[in-house]
A and B are shown apart, each in its own frame.
Chain A
Amino acid sequence: MATTSRKHAHPLRTLVIFALVIAGFYTIIAVSGVWMPKLGLDLRGGSTITLTASNSTGSGQVDAKSLELARTIIQQRVDGYGVGESEVTTSGDRQIVVSVPNVQKDDLVRLVGTTAQLYFRKVYNVAAATGSVAEPSATPSASAQPSASATASAEPSASASVSSPSPSASSTANKRPLPSLPTPVASPRPTTPGETKPLADLLTWTPSDRDNSDFETYLCGDTNFPDVTTEALITCDQDKAYKYLLGPALIPGNMVTRAIAAVPQNSVAYVVQLEFNNQGAADFQTVTAHLATQTSPQNQFGIVLDGQVISAPSVASNYTAGIAGGKAEISGSFTQKSAQDLANILSYGALPLSFDVSSVENVSAKLGADQLQAGIIAGVIGLALVLAYSILYYRALAVVVAASLVVAFGLTWALVVLLGTSMGFALNLPGIAGAIVAIGVTADSFIIYFERIRDEAREGRSLRTAIETGWQRSRSTILAADSVSLLSAVVLFIIAIGAVKGFAFTLGLTTLIDIAVVFFFTHPMLTLLGRTKFFGEGHRFSGFEAQHMGTTNPPLHNSRRTKGAAVVGGEA
């Protein structure tokens, strides 16, 4: 048990390496320039909406791919709402969580909670969106003019020159008409669908004068034109480059059974291939047959998602019999991404998912600030109590407790900040609670260690030896106890839904940090301190004082065994 020269170098080296690791974390933070953890919405105000998906068909299972697709669509909708900094994540196997900071808009709930509406409508008129209130678009549309000559082919192999207007799905924030919102128009347009007419009647539909005049004056993004399936729709494409006058919905998006982005054989360009179900195939043939006879722009389909034109492919005039077989292909100046985006949107119509609003958490900025303050107060009180108790009980050894807690805090802070910037982890109130509870878990490890040192000293070991043997024996206890803590945190994290996930996360994180701190800071620190005269010789206030520890002899340096301590126990 003699400390060899090799062991002398050890604790210091560990400390230095550990300090370097922490310094490394803070260097990354300094480089990124973000010093504060990302706060959850319950601490800074905002809305959190939890949606639960249910499968309207089949076994009721929600597969991860559909959920992710739905998440993408909802993200686009929220982005389109123009609130910025919003976040849409999936949680568990059927939840989608929408978090929007600093927003108190109640219609947001309706926006994200509504099932996406994807429809194929007929285009009646197209015009450049002049005088639009659109903000400068970062990605000027490189796509073809919407009225460009275009065809849709039934066979992917058919050599049809096809172009699709504005296939580029930009994520530019823009105001888009909300479904069934009251409009500020003097005599409001109907906001609820009327009677659905047969397809043949719909094809003969013509825009009213009012539709035409509204179209003339329509500015992209300025009004919320109601998106009603049986009525005309005036809206813009995603880039707000063009405005469209569209007829009533002809084919609903849920008739699309499949949509993929692909590069057909003998081709180099991306296309989007789509398939319809039986009813959809029949309708699609009828509609394409009609469109093929029309002139531009009335030979175009407007594919409308949530009242926004996603794509407006035209049907070539040679398809006078319509596109049969329920398979079609949209081609144009697609990139892989834009083709994929369009395919995703089209497949969304095929998603058998419906969403329920499970919970809406709306925290005002003031309540958020109060909660943050309370969390900080709780943390400070908790920390102070733990420190006070350890000073009372461990005297100067409390310095080690304090230093270890400070290191643990520093490490936790760094990791929470880094996880916030890299993974978007936001610290919420339950998360703070988890960190506070973890103060106890962390301090517990020190107690197990310190008490073990005392036990060893009681058995007559010198303090310096006791620090080493106490460590060897308490190490496994600390690991076992911490792993139980960790296990519960992991189970909770995987299974928890909503804000309490944050609790499990910080609890687990801080348990890991605790292990790191005990191994790489507290133990080497104590080894070093054990060599000092103050601690090593059991000074009155060192916490290793013989009387205080319960040994009857001072744990002198290397005084291997002293008579008194040994006998006391033996005579019991």
Chain B
Amino acid sequence: MTDQLTQTPEPAVKKASLTHRLYTGEMSYDFVAKRNRWYLISGVVLLIAILAIAFRGLSLGIEFKGGVEFQAPVQVTSSTVETVRQAVQDLRIPGNDDISVNTIGDGQVRVQTTALSSDEVTQVKGAIAGAIGLQPDDVAYSLIGASWGQQITTQAVIALVVFLVLVMLLIWIYFREFKMSIAAIVALLHDLVITVGVYALVGFTVTPATMIGVLTILGYSLYDTMVVFDRIRENTRELSNTRFTYSVAANSALNQVLVRSLNTTIIGVLPVAALLFTGWFILGTGPLKDLGLALFVGMIAGAYSSIFIATPLLAQMREADPDMVEHRERLARRAARATEKAAVRKPKAVTLVAGDATAPPVDPASLGLVPAKALDPTTRRQPSKQARSRRKK
């Protein structure tokens, strides 16, 4: 198999769109055959992600460490941070010599302290409000107990495991093909690691909203995979009656849904990008931004993995199955016979295999493709060009 887009010259018709050419297999890219390349690329990305997680670590939000976070609206000036820090430190609350004060955008100031009692919260609120000239009630705060983060993490892990098991079952039941479950789950884990890795690299704070975002990716990443797998199932339903191997059928399915996959991903990412944008630039912090980034990265990784990881992996696993081995042997025998025959007559005709992933084997009549017979020039019947009405004459 060659390493380029293969495009056969068209007959004298108007130039068809890319979508069309991808669909018919006139133009196709062999995703499945080049799987080792994708595995390598993903392997490298995963390695970077894992290294980032291991060495840079995740910057966990206050929700995981416990403590109090105050947030107040203020017109940020160069002295804001110092004024607020001074005001809070002047309270001399034990254990809070090292408070963190920063600004979010130019309209918010944020103060993070360790755990405080309610009285101390009131004091700090008052100090912050005094420092920037607000009413204490304008200072928002959130207080997180020390065990809260542990609880959230436990719940998230439970959610992850429950979801993975359920999805595996769902895919198995829907597609009746356990290998599809495995391929989908592998792709899913791939997306998860990459998303978490990006968080480690970018250094965004991990909050409960982030975790929910990451868990949502599970659903979204699978959405793409389901669409591709659905088409693969359709293409391979009567595989033994076709001249295609599983890999070829899977690859043609990929090419057929490629545009659709791109479209769904773009449409899915657009609102998420809006979330990320608003969360980042308008609010500066909070669930919109946290959810936004996790979903943004995860959805793109999900689209990639459903095409480049899940499908090649599925094809690879299926090809190892005895029925597929048998099917390939049968095809090989058939091809050998065809070559013999062709050698006797016209050696030229063999070029037809070039496209590797040609028209889908589904209902060839509806395509008007006459696929299998087209191989053999002797059996091909030209359709009548004459309309009935004219024939009668």
Contacts and interface: CB of A to CB of B under 8 A. Distances in A.
Contact of B274 (A378, A461, A497, A568): A378
Contact of A393 (B174, B216, B263): B263
9 contacts: A107-B118, A364-B72, A378-B271, A378-B274, A484-B219, A484-B226, A570-B367, A571-B10, A572-B25
Interface in B29-79: 63, 71-73
B84 interface: no
Contacts of B125: 106
B324 interface: no
B20 interface: yes
A571 B369 CA distance: 8
Interface string A438-482: 011101100110010011001111000000000001001100110
A470 to B, nearest CB: 12
B287 A430 contact: yes
Interface stretch (B93-101, B141-149, B197-205): B141-149
Contacts of B370: 570
Nearest to A367: B140
B139 interface: yes
Interface residues of A, number: 93
A50 B163 CA distance: 25
A504 B137 CA distance: 31
Interface string A484-508: 1101110110011111100110010
Given A549-B19, A550-B19, 7 more contacts: A110-B118, A360-B142, A360-B144, A364-B137, A484-B219, A568-B24, A572-B25
A363 interface: yes
A359 B367 contact: no
Contacts of A459: 363, 366-368
A461 B366 CA distance: 8
Interface string B152-166: 100110110011001
B226 A481 contact: yes
A433 B291 CA distance: 8
Contacts of A448: 227, 260, 264
Contacts of B158: 495
A358 B220 contact: no
Contacts of A499: 208, 287
Interface residues of B, number: 102
Contacts of A365: 137
Contacts of B369: 566, 569-570
Nearest to A394: B263
A489 B143 contact: no
A177 B182 CA distance: 61
A357 B140 CA distance: 17
Interface of B: 8, 10-11, 13-14, 16-21, 23-26, 63, 71-73, 118-119, 121-122, 125, 136-145, 147-148, 151-152, 155-156, 158-159, 162-163, 166-167, 170, 174, 208-209, 211-212, 215-216, 218-220, 222-223, 226-227, 230-231, 234, 256-257, 259-260, 263-264, 266-275, 277-279, 282-283, 286-288, 291-292, 295, 355, 358-359, 363, 366-371, 374
Nearest to A106: B122
A261 B141 CA distance: 43
A503 B267 CA distance: 19
A487 B256 contact: no
B11 A568 contact: yes
A407 B271 CA distance: 18
Contact of B212 (A357, A481, A492): A492
> Which secondary structure dominates where chain B touches chain A?
helix
Interface string A370-385: 1101110111011101
A381 B277 contact: yes
A572 B8 contact: yes
Nearest to B137: A104
Nearest to A561: B368
Nearest to A356: B145
A437 B216 CA distance: 10
Contacts of A378: 271, 274-275, 277-279, 288
Contacts of A551: 16, 20
A440 B271 contact: yes
A477 B147 CA distance: 43
A376 to B, nearest CB: 9
Contacts of B212: 430, 492, 496, 500, 503-504
B272 A550 contact: no
Contacts of B219: 484-485, 487-489
Nearest to A368: B140
A71 interface: no
B159 A495 contact: yes
Contacts of A293: none
A52 interface: yes
A565 B368 contact: yes
Contacts of B259: 451
Contacts of A393: 263
Contacts of A489: 219
Nearest to B291: A433
B271 A572 contact: no
Given A358-B151, A436-B275, A109 B143 contact: yes
A385 B25 contact: no
B221 to A, nearest CB: 9
Nearest to B374: A570
A555 B372 CA distance: 26
Contact of A455 (B23, B144, B283): B23
A411 to B, nearest CB: 18
B264 A491 contact: no
B66 to A, nearest CB: 9
Given A385-B273, A386-B270, A390-B267, A492 B159 contact: yes
